[in-house]
Amino acid sequence: MVNPASGRDVRRLAARAASDTPQSKRNTVARAVIGAAAAGAGRFSVVRDPFAIGTGAVENLRIRARFDVLDVGASLSPRDTVAAVERMRAAGCRALVVLGGDGTNRIVARTWSDAPLMPLSTGTNNVFPRMVEATVAGAAAGLVAARAVALDEVAPPVKRVAVEIEGEADDLALIDAAFLVGDRSGNLMPFEPANLRLVVLARAEPDAVGMSPIGGLLEPCGADDDAGVAVWCRPPGTGARDLLAPISPGLYRPVGVERHRRVSLGEPVEVTGPGLLAFDGDRERELAAGQRAVLRVLRDGPRVIEPQRALRLAAARGWMLGRHWHDAYDDERGGSPGCC
């Protein structure tokens, strides 16, 4: 599944994030499909989009696999991702290869909470998706789809930030939930550090960009740590300690840090409006004056496939021994679904 708009938004004007063209995404999808088919997946679902990324990637592959084209009326909006995930779940897909950034994967997880994901990085904020060759990622997803390895063996649930908003529907973030003042919903520009008051992180990575290194450069907390990090902020230069952090690719800014600490899984962190909540870089939920929100880091997120673990198990079981190119694409075996 591909977000055609990932890697192409206005943040490229304010920072130095790389751009990702439809052709490069097509090539990535093709490599992932080839890897998945070689590993045993025989059926794929691809979404029809305005740039023909998924359909264009598979139309000339010349492999014996079944391709189901899902027409969700794509219009380059987040609703496309929701509709695609719902269709793929209903079709019984056993592994989802997702091309996008943190925000795209958040929509997937919000739609299918324990989705079996192989996320590939093509967005602006890319802490959640993996930087791994698509051929290898596709092979790992194909092993899960073909049941050569069990999902429980290679895809533990990841952490997320669960968000309860007083009087409104719950929400979530996969990496960071931030409370901002003086900002506006739908703003796609890099955030202004002076507006930041709190960030709760499921993963505080010092070698990332975005919100995550604000915690990671103070209190590193990785994917395997059963904890999160909360950082309370004020405008830089107002008596707080200033932390120089990469808030977007190629863009460092000072962030005023009032205090920070690790938070245990399930521990509540409260904020009160007025202000704006941003999840994985997307500013979406406004809090009215006096309205409360409670943020908790939990380990009940989607199941993210770990390619190295999957391929090591396949090697130990001799899964690829004796496989031939034409056999790998024989969909008359009743191959399991794989999704792009």
DSSP string computed for 67-94: EEEE-----SSHHHHHHHHHHHHHTT-S
**Residues 23, 117 within the same domain:** yes
**Residues 142, 181 within the same domain:** no
For tokens 């679904």, name the residue.
Answer: 337
Give the whole-angstrom CA distance, residue 257 versus residue 254: 9
Flag whether 178 is in a domain.
yes
**Residues 154, 20 within the same domain:** yes
Give the whole-angstrom CA distance, residue 96 versus residue 47: 12
Give the whole-angstrom CA distance, residue 5 versus residue 79: 13
Q: What is the pLDDT of residue 37?
A: 95
**Residues 127, 31 within the same domain:** yes
Flag whether 1 is in a domain.
no
Q: What is the pLDDT of residue 333?
A: 39
SS3 66: strand
* Domain total of the chain: 2
Give the residue numbers spanning the domain of 229: 160-298
Give the whole-angstrom CA distance, residue 316 versus residue 314: 5
Flag whether 4 is in a domain.
no
Flag whether 5 is in a domain.
no
**Residues 43, 74 within the same domain:** yes
Q: Which of 240, 207, 239 is nearest to 222 (CA)?
A: 207
Calculate the alpha carbon distances from 275 to 195, 231, 235, 253, 267 in Å: 10, 16, 15, 21, 22
**Residues 174, 305 within the same domain:** no
302 in Cβ contact with 158 (< 8 Å) = yes
**Residues 305, 284 within the same domain:** no
Q: What is the pLDDT of residue 9?
A: 56
Give the whole-angstrom CA distance, residue 294 versus residue 269: 6
**Residues 118, 223 within the same domain:** no
Q: Which of 25, 36, 200 is nearest to 121 (CA)?
A: 25
**Residues 335, 206 within the same domain:** no
Q: Which CATH number goes with the domain that contains 255?
A: 2.60.200.30
Per-residue pLDDT of the chain (340 residues; tens, 9 = 90+): 787 766 555 554 555 666 678 999 999 999 999 999 999 999 999 999 999 999 999 988 888 789 999 999 988 888 999 999 999 999 999 999 999 999 999 999 999 999 999 999 886 668 999 889 999 999 999 999 999 999 999 999 999 999 999 999 999 999 999 999 999 888 888 899 999 999 999 999 999 999 999 999 999 999 999 999 999 999 998 877 999 999 999 999 999 999 999 999 999 999 999 999 999 989 999 999 999 999 999 999 999 999 999 999 999 999 999 876 554 444 443 444 555 5
**Residues 112, 236 within the same domain:** no
Give the whole-angstrom CA distance, residue 69 versus residue 29: 14
DSSP 190: P
